[in-house]
Amino acid sequence: MPITVLDHPLAADLLTVLRDQDTEPPLFRETAERLGYLLVAEALADMPGDEVEIMTPLETTTGSRLHHPIVAVAVLRAGLGLLESVLTLVPDAAIGFAGVQRNEETAEPMEYYTKFPTLEGARVLILEPMLATGGSLSWAIDKVKENGATDVTAVCVVAAPEGVSRMESDHPDVRVVSAALDRQLNPSFYIAPGLGDMGDRLFGTV
């Protein structure tokens, strides 16, 4: 399973804002969206294009349009923080949702909702900002594969080595794009140094 960690000073700057405990929800949401642009661009960097002929104001030239349809699947709640990034860059992307809640004792995912558009033949971006144990992301990938997805990329903000290992075991065919690979999980299964609970910080809940 390939993992790509963004190596860009702008990504590092934005991630620092997200990590800061003093960043309030409005700025946190804005910063997550801006970082999402870089993550989504990287997640689509290997997308094939179709050659098309267009007319500029001066002459005819050859351009390129994305070949495959794109589907973004937001893992609720935190994945909503990256959804607008996808829609800004790819306005015609289809949207799916995967509702999963973490069992606080076992850190394993508990499903409560799924809704997907057609996934066959699409590049499916799984928006799961926190790759901690890997349980939620692995579950979401299982779900989209059961519904016909064959080209899947995971888009994360921070990842822990434990989650990366889980992905290598469960889904070695899925590429992971992340802004950082952090040190480890703490005893409560949170990523350290991490940025806390992304859902809570996006929406101001405790």
**Any domain includes 55:** no
Report, as residue numbers or ranges, the catalytic residues.
102, 106, 197, 200
**Any domain includes 33:** yes
| Number of domains into which the chain is organized | 1
Q: β-strands 109-115, 94-102: how paired?
A: antiparallel
Predicted TM-score of the model (pTM):
0.92
| DSSP character at residue 129 | S
**Any domain includes 79:** yes
Phi, psi for 195 (deg, rounded to 5): -150, 20
**Any domain includes 13:** yes
Q: Count the residues in the chain.
A: 206
- Three-state DSSP class for 127? strand
Per-residue confidence of the chain (206 residues) as pLDDT tens digits? 689 999 999 999 999 999 999 999 999 999 999 999 999 999 999 999 999 999 999 999 999 998 889 999 999 989 999 999 999 999 999 999 999 776 666 666 678 889 999 999 999 999 999 999 999 999 999 999 999 999 999 999 999 999 999 999 999 999 999 999 999 999 989 999 999 999 999 998 86
Instruction: Give the domain extent around 9.
Output: 3-47+67-203
**Any domain includes 60:** no
CB atoms within 10 A of CB 114: 18
Domain at 122, CATH number: 3.40.50.2020
